[in-house]
Amino acid sequence: MSRRRASIKEVRGEVALFRRRALAGFGLILLGLAAVCVRYVYLQVYHHDEFAARSEQNRIKPRAIPPARGLIYDRNGVLLADNVPAFRLEVTPEQVGDMDKMLTDLGAVVPLSDDDISVFKKQVKQSRRFEGVPLKLKLTEDEIGRFAVNRWRFPGVDVVPYLTRRYPMGPEFAHVIGYVSRIDADDLDRMDDEEEASYKGTTHIGRIGIERSYEKLLHGAPGYELVEVNADGRTQAVLDTTPPTPGKNIYLAIDVRLQKAALEGLAGRPGAAIAIDPRNGQVLAFASYPTYDPNLFVNGISSADYKALTTDPDKPLYNRALRGVYPPGSTVKPLLALGGLSLGLRRPTDTVFSNGQFCIPGQSRCYRDDDRGGNGTVNMMQAIEHSTNTYFYKLALDMGIDRLSGWMSKFSFGQKTGIDLVGEVEGVLPSHEWKAKRSKAGWFPGETIIAGIGQGYWAVTPIQLAHAIATFAGHGIPYAPHLLLDTQDGVDSPRVPQAFPPEGPSLVRRDSDWQAVNQGMIDVINSGKGTGKKVGIGFPFVMAGKSGTAERFSRRTDAYDNNKNNAYLAARHRAWFMAYTPAEDPKIAVAVLLEAGAWGAQDSGPIVRKILDQWVVDEGGPRPEALPPGPIATSDAPIESAPASDSSGQGTQPAPATSSELPPDDSGEDQ
């Protein structure tokens, strides 16, 4: 039927019409295809360069190669910090089917702590599926062996070598070198863009100690490699490599042997021992006890270890040498004497009569001498030798607190010494101004008097005292104490000494002033009657020094304390001893603090001696004979700050540091 209807159509015309339409259609199609081709010409010819560049940007990415961290040595090249190969377990999440089951199974082969797992899970969320995420660091050989046998059970888990920081000396240098730890978000926030770029690929940063203060030297500069990546960022090939610049090696002024001697001297007692070369400010030993193992922190300390460190009552993390503040006691007397000479208030030969107590003229309040009945008539040298309080009460009063603190501030009391460690504290150097900021009570003359014997508000850090005695020993030329000695570009390069020029002219006006005070300190040890008379026995050089026994607490009674029990006294006293040698041309100055020592010379003196004996050996001399056992001196100033009641016996309590607005005497206990 349709065939018949078709036959009545005008077939010829229709064919012609179709031909025209087909040709027209084909023409339009050619136009359309040409239009598409024009677009391709536009992209592939006119914009080829732009798209070629974008294609390269797509596929070629720079990837940072972290630099090797510089090594740290002592002055003689003994290694204190290095990078050692270690092995860690790494998991590639995309290759692991059931993560929780894998962790359970793996835990049976290689013990995994809860810490390991929680840190791992956090990192898995932040990284890409095909990137290895560390699960357990620092595998032992045993663990590597056990994993190797079971490896087939754990697809996607690998043992990967890496470099980790190691501190071979462990706790002995923790308070000097500090440690590195993982870079965290706060570190990145602190950095500017350029700095952040230089940490690309680096996992660790100096957290404390030398590792932190010389981070810039130790870190180095990252290298780059150009890698071809796919759209997921997965590396396909390495196209070009620019090697990283390793960090500089650092040589410290520290002498490992002196450091060890200092720690042996402290013998497990909380305290600090510092040795400085007075000729240049180089820190030869810097010990603070108790200490901790810095290796624990490198790859993340476990919470159990951290808790043990923070809850230990002796606070091993606390750097006593740098941050502990203690009343300096009698150790400041020689410096006060030098101040009296410099300010023209005293001549060395001027004498004072000490009868056992000193009363402020016109007032009824009196202050005690160390020895009942006093030392009689003493000049400056004798006053230093015997640590005669009355001499210094009077000198302090004549000087006035502001001149006193002005003078003492030149020795960096009340301010940072500038040692190249982060976190140094300023301590307290009292003055009118200082007290006015803290109390409305105003300054009392009695507070000036006890400042003369290093008590009251005055609080110093061991590094401040070490710096002060070293500055004196170096004829008053102030060098900021520094641990850095040399740097080195690589193990085969020469050591480059670092310049640490003095911070100003000598603090000593006349050499005769220095000689007088020096003589006083020589006598302390060598006269046979001084407070440190046994410290120098058998020592091949002339030693000069000063003891100090500071009270931790304010006195509550006026009575002389007749309890001679050492343990009882140690609970009440801070024991200081400082010394330098050879006295005529000092080459080493040492300051030692024991937080709980009965007497300065008796308890801290042997520690100073131990360090100096080692120094003699280091200098090429024979080891001096060890000190005889037994008490070295008994008549140091145990009750220096004790105010003696006047004869009328009014029973006043002049102890100044009991106001609640003021810091406690024993601020060193804090922190």
* Residues marked as catalytic: 330
C-beta separation of 449 from 458 below 8 A: no
Region for 439 from its dihedrals, namely left if φ exceeds 0, alpha if ψ lies in -120 to 50, beta otherwise: beta
* Minimum CB–partner distance for residue 4 and another protein (Å): 9
**How far, in Å, CA of 586 to CA of 608, rounded?**
15
Indicate the residue among 76 and 230 with the shorter CB distance to another protein: 230
Indicate the residue among 32 and 243 with the shorter CB distance to another protein: 32
* Minimum CB–partner distance for residue 23 and another protein (Å): 8
Indicate the residue among 160 and 237 with the shorter CB distance to another protein: 237
Q: Determine the 3-state secondary structure of 274 from DSSP.
A: strand
C-beta separation of 251 from 494 below 8 A: no
Both tokens of residue 81?
């910090």
Angle at 304 between CA 302 and CA 306, to 5 degrees: 70
Both tokens of residue 59?
């596929």
Angle at 479 between CA 476 and CA 485, to 5 degrees: 140
Residue 506 CB: number of other CB atoms within 10 A? 14
Amino acid at 410: K
Burial class (CB in 10 A: 0-12, 13-18, 19+), 101: exposed
* Minimum CB–partner distance for residue 128 and another protein (Å): 14
HEC per residue, 301-347? CCHHHHHHHHHCCCCCCCCHHHHCCECCHHHHHHHHHHHHHHCCCCC
**How far, in Å, CA of 270 to CA of 288, rounded?**
8
C-beta separation of 144 from 264 below 8 A: no
Helices (H), 388-477: 389-399, 401-409, 432-436, 445-451, 462-473
Residue 290 is given by DSSP the state S
C-beta separation of 535 from 611 below 8 A: no
Both tokens of residue 641?
């700050």
Q: Where are the beta strands (DSSP E) in 426-552?
A: 484-488, 496-497, 544-551
Q: Determine the 3-state secondary structure of 522 from DSSP.
A: helix
Q: How far does CA 610 lie from the centroid of its chain? A: 24
* Minimum CB–partner distance for residue 7 and another protein (Å): 10
Q: What does 552-567 look like in DSSP terms, one character per residue? A: SS-----SPP----HH
* Minimum CB–partner distance for residue 227 and another protein (Å): 11
* Minimum CB–partner distance for residue 28 and another protein (Å): 9
Indicate the residue among 42 and 353 with the shorter CB distance to another protein: 42
Indicate the residue among 45 and 491 with the shorter CB distance to another protein: 45
Indicate the residue among 54 and 151 with the shorter CB distance to another protein: 54
* Minimum CB–partner distance for residue 50 and another protein (Å): 7
* Minimum CB–partner distance for residue 94 and another protein (Å): 15
Indicate the residue among 56 and 584 with the shorter CB distance to another protein: 56
Q: What does 357-389 look like in DSSP terms, one character per residue? A: EEE-TTSS-EEE-SSTT--EEE-HHHHHHHT-H
C-beta separation of 388 from 334 below 8 A: no
* Minimum CB–partner distance for residue 62 and another protein (Å): 16
Residue with tokens 């995420």: 133
Q: Determine the 3-state secondary structure of 89 from DSSP.
A: strand
Write out the residues near another protein by the rule CB under 8 A.
Answer: 2, 5-6, 9-10, 14-15, 17-23, 25-26, 29-30, 32-33, 35-37, 39-41, 43-45, 47-48, 50-52, 54-55, 58-59, 228-232, 236
C-beta separation of 605 from 265 below 8 A: no
* Minimum CB–partner distance for residue 49 and another protein (Å): 9
Region for 112 from its dihedrals, namely left if φ exceeds 0, alpha if ψ lies in -120 to 50, beta otherwise: beta
Indicate the residue among 37 and 267 with the shorter CB distance to another protein: 37
* Minimum CB–partner distance for residue 64 and another protein (Å): 21
Amino acid at 433: E
Indicate the residue among 44 and 363 with the shorter CB distance to another protein: 44
* Minimum CB–partner distance for residue 156 and another protein (Å): 21
Indicate the residue among 43 and 441 with the shorter CB distance to another protein: 43
Q: Half-sphere exposure of residue 234, counting CA atoms within 13 Å on the CB side?
A: 11
Indicate the residue among 40 and 152 with the shorter CB distance to another protein: 40
Indicate the residue among 11 and 160 with the shorter CB distance to another protein: 11
Q: Is the dihedral of CA 208, 210, 211, 212 positive or negative?
A: positive
Q: What does 16-79 look like in DSSP terms, one character per residue? A: HHHHHHHHHHHHHHHHHHHHHHHHHHIIIIISHHHHHHHHHHHHEEEEEEPPPPPPEE-TT--E
Q: Determine the 3-state secondary structure of 518 from DSSP.
A: helix
